[in-house]
Amino acid sequence: MRSADYVIKRVAIALVTALVAVTLNFVIFRAAPGTAVSDLSQVPGATPALRQSLKREFGLDKSKWEQYGIYLGQLGHGNLGRSYQDRQPVLSDLGAALANTVPMVALGVVAAIGLGILTGALFAWRRGTRLEQLGAGVTIALFALPGQWLGLMLLIVFADVLPSGGMTNDFLIDPSFWTHAKDVLVHMALPALTLTVALYGGYTLIVRAAVLETLGEDYILTARAKGLRARTVLRRYALRNAMLPITTHVALSLSYIVTGALLVEVVFSWPGIGRAIYEAVIARDYPLLQGAFLLLTLSVVFCNLVADLLYLKLDPRVTG
């Protein structure tokens, strides 16, 4: 029963956070100076009549409260408006961008987590040794490197070996499935690697700390006293226990992953949601910006909820 309370509470919190996000989103954008109208009127030949009709089209002539009502109603129908840039529904533009972002980011993040677990556990196990001191130094140094700079460094090193930008070689006309998949992977290499290196340091430190924490626990002592091999103890007891805080941390690090992805996409011209935000800022494409920000916030809220619920499954003693 208490776990049911916990679930309800968590879901309620997530819903409230989502509503705050939705409202704040509206406030930020409607407090913004300048509207699409003045941008479109930059076209020579636009007249006050045209501007007026555009205002009507985007509902910019109504009161803020009415606009908020319209906004909520449209949101309920999954309508995030039309992009000022290409006049297509924001949701379809963002959907396409997100589909490009997710595989690249997933590759980079999964690699970072995998490497982080391996070396983090190793450093914790070998605490106090030269290896650990060196490793800790390297990881701290790595996570202090700005992602955009790291990307440029990799561009310098791999400029002639790997593609410098974009997601595909568009000049491959009608590629077969495998040619295409290989092409995408090759293009993905540098941005994903940048993300991996940039995130790796942080994850290693987390894993190392979490494993160190469990290594100090009594059951480890018990396990060792039972005469189990060190490696077994590490893998079966210490690391497995450490997985709990690690999972939470990964969920919480989503906001930094978004940051990293945005910078990496700009450096490597990756046609994902980060670059869409970047281009939308330049073009003052408010509907797209608003949609992108909302989508990102809601997905982070959702992932955190998942982590919270996962926690319950991993450790039933955690209750509201």
Partner 1 sequence: MSTSLPEVDVGVAGPGAGGSRARLRTTAMRRPAAIGGGTVLGFFILVALLAPWIEPYGVRQNAGPVFAAPSASHWLGLDDAGVDVVSLLIAGTRSSLLVGFAAALVSTFVGGAVGIVAGYFGGVTDAILMRVTDYFLVIPDLPLMIIVAAIWGQSVWHIILVIGLLHWTWTARTIRAQVKSIRERTYMRRVRSLGAGHRRVIVHHLLPEVAPLLLAVGVRAVANSIFAAAALAFLGLGDPTAISWGGMIQHAFQRSAVSSGAWWAVVPPGLCIALVVVACYLLGQAIADILNPRTRALHLSARRFGVLPLSTSSRQQR
Partner 2 sequence: MLQPMPERLPRSQRGVLRCCLVLGALSLALVSGGCGGKGGGGGNDAVLRIGTLGTTASLNMFIGGEYASYKKFYPTLVQVNVDTLKAEPNFATSWTGSADRRTWTFHTRPNAKWSDGRPLTASDAAFTFNMIARLGSGPTASWFSYVKDLAHADTPNPNTLVLHYKTPSAEVISNLGTDVPILPEHVWAPIAAGAGKRLMTFVNEPRKGRPVVSGGSFMASQHKKDEFELFARNPHAYARPKAAGIGVKFFGNPDALVTALKSGQIDAGYDVPPTAVKTLQSAGLVVKSTPTITYDELAVNTNPKKPKHRELLDPKVRRAFDAAIDRQAIVKVVYLGHAQPGASVITPAIGDWHDASIKAPAFDPAAANRLLDAAGYKRGRDGIRMAQGHPMAYEVLISTESAREFELLQAQFRTIGVELSSRSLDKEAFSAALSAPQSKYLSYDLALTTGGGGGYDPDFALKGLTCSARMFGFGSGYCNPAYDKLYARQAAVGGPERVRLVHEMQGIVAGDRAVLVLAYKDHIDSWSKQWTGFRQAIDGIYSHTTAGLLTGVERAG
Binding to partner 1 in span 230-249, by CB under 8 A: 244-245, 248-249
Work out how close the CB of 142 gets to partner 2 at its nearest, in angstroms, rounded to a whole number: 22
Work out how close the CB of 307 gets to partner 1 at its nearest, in angstroms, rounded to a whole number: 8
Answer yes or no whether residue 28 interacts with partner 1 by CB under 8 A.
yes
Among 50, 165, 183, 213, binds partner 1 (CB under 8 A): 213
Non-local (6+) Cβ contacts of 287 within 8 A are: 80, 81, 82, 83, 84, 90
Work out how close the CB of 147 gets to partner 1 at its nearest, in angstroms, rounded to a whole number: 5
Stretch binding partner 1 (CB under 8 A), from 50-58, 69-77, 99-107, 204-212: 204-212
Among 135, 191, 202, 287, binds partner 1 (CB under 8 A): 202
Work out how close the CB of 74 gets to partner 2 at its nearest, in angstroms, rounded to a whole number: 16
The total of other beta-carbon atoms located within 10 Å of residue 120's CB is: 27
Q: What is the pattern of x (binds partner 1, CB under 8 A) and - over residues 266-285?
A: xx---------xx--x--x-
Answer yes or no whether residue 193 interacts with partner 1 by CB under 8 A.
no
Answer yes or no whether residue 216 interacts with partner 1 by CB under 8 A.
yes
Work out how close the CB of 234 gets to partner 1 at its nearest, in angstroms, rounded to a whole number: 13
Answer yes or no whether residue 287 interacts with partner 1 by CB under 8 A.
no
Work out how close the CB of 204 gets to partner 2 at its nearest, in angstroms, rounded to a whole number: 17
Answer yes or no whether residue 208 interacts with partner 1 by CB under 8 A.
yes
Answer yes or no whether residue 16 interacts with partner 1 by CB under 8 A.
yes
- Distance in angstroms (rounded) separating the CA atoms of residues 234 and 225: 14
Among residues 135 and 287, whose Cβ is nearest to partner 2? 287
Query: Residue 51 has which token pair?
Result: 């501007």
Nearest 5°: the CA angle 121, 122, 126 is 120
Non-local (6+) Cβ contacts of 150 within 8 A are: 194, 197, 198
Among 1, 43, 156, 173, binds partner 1 (CB under 8 A): 156
Among 59, 69, 316, 320, binds partner 1 (CB under 8 A): 320
Work out how close the CB of 180 gets to partner 1 at its nearest, in angstroms, rounded to a whole number: 27
Non-local (6+) Cβ contacts of 184 within 8 A are: 103, 167, 168
Q: Which does 146 bind (CB under 5 to 8 A by kind): partner 2, partner 1, none?
A: partner 1
Work out how close the CB of 28 gets to partner 2 at its nearest, in angstroms, rounded to a whole number: 16
Query: Residue 136 has which token pair?
Result: 């800790």
Among 36, 90, 257, 288, binds partner 1 (CB under 8 A): 257
Answer yes or no whether residue 140 interacts with partner 1 by CB under 8 A.
yes
Q: Which does 58 bind (CB under 5 to 8 A by kind): partner 1, partner 2, none?
A: none
Answer yes or no whether residue 258 interacts with partner 1 by CB under 8 A.
yes
Answer yes or no whether residue 219 interacts with partner 1 by CB under 8 A.
no
